[in-house]
Structure 1
């Protein structure tokens, strides 16, 4: 993740890749990601969480970079015949793949598919993420 002198990251998603992510694509991606994580909850014997109501800061920011996020992304790319996008993604070093995932999250917010939420939600969810019930 090379960093420029002005402390910004060098990686930016190429325009020709970003143009593939229409509102329709991102809507399908959002639905598929929610489905993948709900199925995972069920496999673990949990009642599925209401991910549809989650904001970017309360949940989505933590899901970027996970296998569920990637599985949903790959499946929707296949649906839209975007094998070249999957191949592009696979060749990214991990640090650029993380930034790519973050840009996908940004698109969910920009298209109005996920509410941004607040920084406080992010801090609350972060602080309780590894808490053990006693």
Structure 2
């Protein structure tokens, strides 16, 4: 296993307890909010539902970022941006304290975001560079 594989395995294993608590609490909260949803729903209820769904979807997005990092293939810059927004939307009100349970994953996600954005920029610059022109060859004397 490569060094990247070991690092990602250790980080994901350290996040398992936090992921379990997050997914359990998130699904419970989502179910409770959905059961109590009145018509028309309040903006607070809709915000909470969207925040819970987005935060739960952030884990698979981090998985995609990790897999592409392991393959050394940066994703488009939008992936890290969307993943970061999805992960942080639940932290804004008072969920940042729960981020301590998955702190290695949060730090790893920050690193992966930077790696993917910079890698995408490098790839864009190299593909946008004009191809090197071949030197002119002297014409045959006819």
Q: State TM-score, norm by structure 2.
A: 0.29
Q: Which has the higher contact order (CA 8 A, sep 6+)?
A: 1
Higher Cα Rg: structure 1 or 2?
2
Q: State TM-score, norm by structure 1.
A: 0.30
> Which of the pair is proportionally richer in helix?
2
